[in-house]
A and B are shown apart, each in its own frame.
Chain A
Amino acid sequence: MIESIRDLARKWLESKEVDAIFGLKEQDGGVAPYLFTGRVNGISELGKLTTSTQYRRLCYTCRPSKDNILSLMQRREPNMKIGIVARGCEERALVELAKRGQIDLEKIKIMGIACSQEEAKECKCERPYPNNLVIGERVEGVSGDENINALLSKSLPERLAFWRHELSKCIKCYGCRDACPMCFCKDCKMEQKIFTETGSLPPEIPMFLFIRFYHISERCIGCGECEKACPVDIPLLTIFRQLRRDMKDLFDYEAGIAVEQESPLLTTLDESPMRKEVTSGV
């Protein structure tokens, strides 16, 4: 599969379909995101283009500027056409970012790759493939999640005790937020003193993480980067995955599928758009 990705990347670069390929590069005994422009070592540097189960996504929000790396690139060179090697979750992130005005999808060409059954299982991914599938075989998503079942089978006091234990471990690193492609607010509520007392550990339970649960609820693309970033292994994805189900249930909405589909929080109760003069500036 990796050879097909490299071949296609080479083809796209040589035919000038794209000016650069955004993908993972083998380096320093690991992998890291890299922009292959063919300018450093010519087209041969594509030999280092790879995929990894460790970094399934590439488009992180950069801090302290709080811009997505792709927004930064596009702002710097608005006419550059970037090809991106994207799994299902990455594509969903791109769709949501475009929907929310962060990136220009017109200038991005998605090289969609499918995750293997094994990879899908590791992430418990419900949609382990992109819409623009170019390379690889589409496999079915994983439907069950024992963590969710375990949570839902608990009584309310048991759930509270569970989260009280889990959230007590929190060291307020903001790693979950920093890893989230959807967390790009310039003024983050998690940092605001009126909601969460600053400087204390653990941060206010459940307020600190509730802010993310709520704010990401309808935009979560289910990539699981937040949970992977957590130094104390708080099972954040259990709530986010359940919330993705809730969005379907409550509003028949799924984040990251189509740019045209507006967030339910921006539509009226019968899911029609709110009048423009009302929504502008929101």
Chain B
Amino acid sequence: MEYKNVLTTCPYCGCGCNFYLQVLDGKLIGILPCKSHPVSQGKLCIKGLNAGDFVTSKDRLTKPLIKRNGKFTDISWDEALFLVAKKLKEYKESYGPDSIAVLSSAKCTNEENYLMMKFARAVLGTNNVDHCARLCHASTVVGLVQSFGSGAMTNSIRELEDADCILVIGSNTPEQHPLIARYILRAKEKGAKIIVADPRSITLVQFADYHLRHRPGTDVALFNGMMNVILNEGLEDKEFIKERTEGIEELKEVVKKYTPEYVEQITGVPKDILVDAARTYAKAERASIIYSMGITQHTTGVDNVRSSANLAMLTGNLGKPSTGVNPLRGQVNVQGACDMGALPNVYSGYQNVVDEKAREKFGNAWKVKLPEKPGLTIIEMMNEAAKGNIKAMYIMGENPMVSDPDISHVKEGLEKLEFLVVQDIFLTETAQLADVVLPGACYAEKEGTFTSTERLVQMVRKAIEPPGESKADWEIICSLAKAMGSKEFEYVSPAEIMDEIASFTLSYGGMSYDRLQKGGLAWPCPSKEHPGTPYLHKEKFSRANGKGKFFGIEFKEPAELPDEEYPFILSTGRIIFHFHTGTMTRRTELLNKEVPTGYVEIAHIDAARLGIGAGEFVSVQTRRGQIKTKALITERVPEGMIFIPFHFAECAANVLTNPAFDPVAKIPEYKVCAARIEKVKVS
């Protein structure tokens, strides 16, 4: 009998919790929290504690599948790879490399994302590679790079505990990042002031000193209002502004008109509360901003992000422990997938594809001429597919048929494709549309690294064998690249891939499996001796001139506002019991028991007016489509707003959402669109 515990990183959100996979004679029998881990400290949320359940689900894909006459049948790996390679080559040759698009995955390891982007660029010859970071934190990557020079969480999770003030905006932390919320609550116990800015009355509000319940989509006005108060009362950090930043005049000019009265008109936040909150934030010795998709998923996503950066810089809350601007990333490796360059415009380490030097560096190493033009983003891929310009797509570990906005349009695009390959662990809604499905291995069955939201790179260790003939994603990519004739994919292990990543990527330069086996390392970690960097921008910012930049940003309304026909504001998001498109969590017994299907949150007053009773079926409609779901009557949403969790394909919130996107980051506006809700008449 053999019993062992294999330390690994949780596959769900970006907290980066670790746990042990308990293995008895090669079978996964349970999850044991890891008490020595810096963030999780032996604690996990319900998803982490049940992360072993879906691994052994009977729905796992175990063989490559091919669709013949509308039905899937098994084929061998050799046949599958030969076919996919042949087809992709055909499209590359007859329509040019840009007729192919690739979706990489924030659920896969750094090594796999690196290989995927290498495959797209070096083998297929296109920059059309993107992943779901586009849909969650593209605004962060763009916005914080403009403000600070680096698009990641500036500080580390545990530092939150020692903050004096924490501003949580657009993040339902206790549900989406439970182990980060832990440190907010601990800070509270130590006397920190908590400011929650959220249209919904999330559970954290009970522990908050101020709740700024602003109208969805008015974040810029809210930030400007706070900065107006701070500047008027002389609470800004003049020395920090002088020494470390530029552009303050531009900011001052713009925020002048955002008086508390004006901001109250826009946001609905009473001016006294705004003033108090602004003072509290400004006067705190160490103030930290936490934000998440509540501010990024807007047509003004980049503006929102840069506004949060403005506020932090204005008060000198950067480059010190327990301060900073902290975007919480929602997928286990979305930080890593971005770092690895699974984006249409950059290689690993955010080295730009339009930068000739970078292109040459990677081109020489991979022995090919790399494409110069930045590729398409997810939304653009779907649009081009619908127009017939993208002919073939390769999707690894993503499920746009549930996760992307305006699903009917996504479906139109994917169905129009001549050839679709999906590589996943389950036959997802997206995989069902594929021509070829390749079975991947899940986190428990392969080796690699994940980069958590705090830039901490940690090991994922193999505990059990993948089911049936399924294979680790990195092995599949390597086999496919070889089948297409490349000689640059001869890796024997993920450790070797990490060595290649380290050699091309400064921030990962000092990383190797030897070091990571002993514990995580936070990037930047440029050399073998470097201990990693818990907080960024200590002495200077990462922008070229070392200074942080203020932007004067005017408030803009969301793309679609309620009107007579569609009088409600619809917002979407996640709940604690499920994860993303539900592929894993809906196959987990306990989670499914907690919340078996979707619902729409509606305020008492609206429900009463429309004659909707608790648990009754309603129809929710927008200009994109309609769904039928159950009403949950609650005080969590204010009057005039409804909220739908997007995990559930049978009542998919994204049938309704607006694909209008931020002009720079191309992130869609999941958080605001106009909707109508009515009771479904029982015949």
Contacts and interface: CB of A to CB of B under 8 A. Distances in A.
Do A and B touch (CB < 8 Å)? Answer: yes
Interface of A: 20, 22, 27-35, 37, 39-40, 54-55, 60-65, 69, 72-73, 76-77, 80, 168-169, 171-175, 178-179, 191, 198-199, 201-202, 228-233
Contact of A63 (B4, B24, B50, B595): B50
Nearest to A40: B2
B186 to A, nearest CB: 7
A175 B20 contact: no
A227 to B, nearest CB: 10
Interface in B2-40: 2-5, 7, 20, 22, 24-25, 29-37
Given A64-B52, A171-B45, A175-B43, A35 B178 contact: no
B680 interface: no
Contact of A175 (B44, B518, B590): B44
A188 to B, nearest CB: 9
B123 to A, nearest CB: 35
Given A30-B7, A174-B46, A178-B49, A201 B32 contact: no
20 contacts: A33-B32, A37-B1, A37-B2, A61-B30, A62-B29, A62-B30, A63-B49, A65-B30, A69-B29, A73-B1, A171-B181, A172-B46, A174-B46, A175-B33, A179-B33, A199-B594, A201-B175, A231-B45, A232-B185, A233-B185
Given A29-B519, A30-B7, A232-B182, A171 B46 contact: yes
A29 B25 CA distance: 24
A61 B33 CA distance: 12
Nearest to A19: B1
B576 interface: yes
Contacts of B30: 60-65, 69
B20 to A, nearest CB: 5
Given A33-B32, A76-B1, A171 B42 contact: no
A30 B34 contact: yes
A69 B32 CA distance: 11
Given A63-B31, A198-B593, A228-B35, 14 more contacts: A22-B3, A28-B459, A29-B517, A30-B35, A32-B7, A35-B4, A54-B35, A54-B36, A72-B24, A173-B49, A175-B33, A175-B44, A229-B42, A233-B186
Interface in B443-487: 459, 461
Given A20-B1, A63-B30, A231-B44, A31 B50 contact: no
B29 A65 contact: yes
Contacts of A65: 29-30
A234 B178 CA distance: 14
Interface in B534-582: 575-577
Contacts of B25: 76
A34 B575 CA distance: 35
Where chain A touches its partner, the secondary structure class is loop
Contacts of A179: 33
B589 interface: yes
Given A64-B50, A168-B206, A174 B590 contact: yes
Contacts of A33: 3, 5, 32
A171 B33 contact: no
A29 B32 contact: no
A189 to B, nearest CB: 13
Contact of B178 (A28, A34, A173, A228): A173
Contacts of A77: 1
Nearest to A63: B30
B44 A199 contact: no
A179 B20 CA distance: 13
A180 B42 CA distance: 13
A33 B185 CA distance: 31
A31 B25 CA distance: 20
A77 B25 CA distance: 11
Interface in B163-196: 174-175, 178-179, 181-182, 185-186, 189
Contact of B518 (A29, A60, A171, A174): A29
Given A62-B22, A174-B46, A231-B43, A191 B590 contact: yes
Contacts of B518: 28-29
Contacts of B189: 233
A231 B182 contact: yes
Nearest to B202: A201
B503 interface: no
A30 B41 CA distance: 12
Contact of A80 (B1, B4, B22, B178): B1
Contacts of A172: 46, 576, 594
Contacts of B178: 171, 173, 231
Best-buried of A55, A64, A69, A202 by chain B (most CB within 10 Å): A64
B198 interface: no
Nearest to A203: B594
Contacts of A173: 43-46, 48-49, 178
B130 interface: no
Contacts of B593: 191, 198
Nearest to B518: A29
B29 A34 contact: no
Contact of B29 (A39, A72, A169): A72
A226 B175 CA distance: 21
B232 interface: no
B577 A199 contact: yes
Contacts of A69: 3, 22, 24, 29-30
A28 B186 contact: no
The 4 residue pairs across chains A and B that have the minimum distance between CB atoms: A62-B30, A32-B5, A30-B36, A35-B3
Nearest to B178: A171
Nearest to B5: A32
Nearest to B42: A228
B53 interface: yes
Given A64-B589, A172-B594, A201 B174 contact: yes
A168 to B, nearest CB: 5
Contact of B576 (A72, A76, A171, A228): A171
Nearest to B172: A201
Contacts of B52: 63-64
B24 A76 contact: yes
B203 interface: yes
B1 A64 contact: no
A179 B32 CA distance: 9
A63 B50 CA distance: 8
A228 to B, nearest CB: 6
A55 B577 CA distance: 28
A60 B25 CA distance: 17
Interface string B587-629: 0011001110000000000000000000000000000000000
A35 B36 contact: no
A15 to B, nearest CB: 20
